[in-house]
Amino acid sequence: MTVREALARATAWLEERGVPEAGHDAASLLGQVLGRPRLELPLSYTRELRPAELAAYEALIERRAAREPLQYILGTQAFLDFEVKVDGRVLIPRPETELLAERAVTLGRASGAARVADVGTGSGCLAIAAAMALPDAHVWATDASEDALNLARENAARLGVGDRLTFLRGDFLTPLAEAGVVVDLLVSNPPYIPRGELAGLQEEVRDHEPRKALDGGADGLDAYRALAAGARSVLAPGGHIALELGYGQAAAVRALLATGGFIDIEVSPDFAGISRVMTAHLSTPEGQMGPGTSEARP
Ligand SMILES: C[S@@+](CC[C@H](N)C(=O)[O-])C[C@H]1O[C@@H](n2cnc3c(N)ncnc32)[C@H](O)[C@@H]1O
């Protein structure tokens, strides 16, 4: 069977199984088997596939037909200007989260943040982005999942920032508070899907991504409650927070942050115009200065 024939057959099979963007995925997976970029496949259309290549390709196509996400099968996902390894232990980083990373880094640079925490780090994408963009900062990354932390650790080491990251396992802010860590910038893309909506998610997400990465409790806001209520124990006075939001959650999260002592609360939209990133900073008790001020950093 030639490359062209294998591609046509796999595309038709994925289409039959209802896989979105079947042609793209069939080509990406054949590129993976042949060790060539997807867009170069037309150069080899007439080449005969060896039996081992065909068997390997069919195995990958079967995984995709079972609606395993393409990124898990390929094993990587691009995030900003780097790639993280991904598999079923972690959420696949989304394009919206790049907006959160950019907002957090902008805040971190402007305030001179030297201590950063990423809560619910998953693949480590946000913590790694912060460590890369803020070369003098130390970053603590937490997750409730040891499996996720293992992969995040691997990603950080491979991308050369492992020595400036500390990984802690536990419930949201608890491991930071227990370790006595105080940070200038807190970033988090927490689980925020209301539990009742999980069953209606796309199969790739519902059946393959870690439930713990998605489930935000009954109203989707459990993580925000924990973060807003506990922030004072780990965030320096005047410290900044940057959060990703789920659809329709801006008003509720704003109220939680205000109650938790945050001021200057701002929201940025994503590509679809949905309120997606919320930033704020912790009010300072009178007389105390926040991070980046002359008093905090002589
Ligand atoms: C939406 S994912 C985000 C992953 C990654 N930060 C990203 O943006 O791609 C949420 C992460 O929070 C973690 N998580 C869920 N519940 C948690 C909890 N109670 N305490 C700490 N981490 C938790 C999950 O394991 C998951 O890795």
Shared domain check, 82 and 140: yes
Q: Domain holding 60: CATH number?
A: 1.10.8
Shared domain check, 175 and 92: yes
Shared domain check, 277 and 193: yes
Instruction: Decide if 35 is inside a domain.
Output: yes
Give residue 165's domain range. Answer: 76-282
Nearest to 193 by CA among 206, 180, 181, 183: 206
Count of structural domains within the chain: 2
pLDDT at 284: 83
Please give the distance, rounded to the nearest whole angstrom, from the Cα atom of residue 90 to the centre of ligand 1.
8
Shared domain check, 48 and 107: no
Atom of ligand 1 nearest to the CA of 90: 27
Shared domain check, 85 and 46: no
Band (pLDDT 50/70/90 cuts) for residue 297 is very low
Instruction: Decide if 177 is inside a domain.
Output: yes
* pLDDT tens per residue across span 100-130: 999 999 999 999 999 999 999 999 999 999 9
3-state SS of the chain: helix, strand, coil percent to 5?
45, 20, 35
Regarding the beta carbon of 122 and ligand 1, being less than 6 Å apart is answered yes
Shared domain check, 214 and 140: yes
Nearest to 156 by CA among 223, 85, 106, 225: 85
Shared domain check, 211 and 92: yes
**How far is the CA of 208 from the CAs of 82, 88, 90, 179, 254, in angstroms?**
23, 6, 10, 33, 31
Instruction: Decide if 292 is inside a domain.
Output: no
For residue 267, count CB atoms less than 10 angstroms from its CB and return exposed for 0-12, middle for 13-18, buried for 19 or more.
Answer: middle
Looking at ligand 1, which residue's alpha carbon is closest to its atom 7?
A: 93
Q: Give the distance, in angstroms, between the CA of residue 290 and the centroid of all CA atoms in the same chain.
A: 28
Please give the distance, rounded to the nearest whole angstrom, from the Cα atom of residue 204 to the centre of ligand 1.
18
* pLDDT tens per residue across span 36-92: 999 999 999 999 999 999 999 999 999 999 999 999 999 999 999 999 999 999 999
Instruction: Decide if 295 is inside a domain.
Output: no
Instruction: Decide if 245 is inside a domain.
Output: yes
pLDDT at 295: 36
Cα distance between residue 103 and residue 109, in whole Å: 10
Please give the distance, rounded to the nearest whole angstrom, from the Cα atom of residue 298 to the centre of ligand 1.
35
Instruction: Decide if 84 is inside a domain.
Output: yes
Which helix or strand (DSSP H or E) is residue 155 part of?
Answer: helix 146-158
Regarding the beta carbon of 79 and ligand 1, being less than 6 Å apart is answered no
Regarding the beta carbon of 212 and ligand 1, being less than 6 Å apart is answered yes
Regarding the beta carbon of 144 and ligand 1, being less than 6 Å apart is answered yes
Please give the distance, rounded to the nearest whole angstrom, from the Cα atom of residue 144 to the centre of ligand 1.
7
Last residue of a domain, one of 66, 93, 109: 66
**How far is the CA of 73 from the CAs of 70, 85, 88, in angstroms?**
5, 11, 10
pTM for the full model?
0.94
Looking at ligand 1, which residue's alpha carbon is closest to its atom 8?
A: 189
* pLDDT tens per residue across span 262-282: 999 999 999 999 999 999 999
Nearest to 192 by CA among 116, 129, 278, 128: 278
Cα distance between residue 38 and residue 35, in whole Å: 9
Shared domain check, 252 and 178: yes
For residue 251, count CB atoms less than 10 angstroms from its CB and return exposed for 0-12, middle for 13-18, buried for 19 or more.
Answer: exposed
Please give the distance, rounded to the nearest whole angstrom, from the Cα atom of residue 5 to the centre of ligand 1.
42
Shared domain check, 176 and 59: no
Please give the distance, rounded to the nearest whole angstrom, from the Cα atom of residue 189 to the centre of ligand 1.
7
Shared domain check, 60 and 84: no
Shared domain check, 273 and 173: yes
Shared domain check, 82 and 60: no
* pLDDT tens per residue across span 124-178: 999 999 999 999 999 999 999 999 999 999 999 999 999 999 999 999 999 999 9
For residue 276, count CB atoms less than 10 angstroms from its CB and return exposed for 0-12, middle for 13-18, buried for 19 or more.
Answer: buried
Instruction: Decide if 297 is inside a domain.
Output: no
CB 26 within 8 A of CB 17: no
Q: Domain holding 230: CATH number?
A: 3.40.50.150
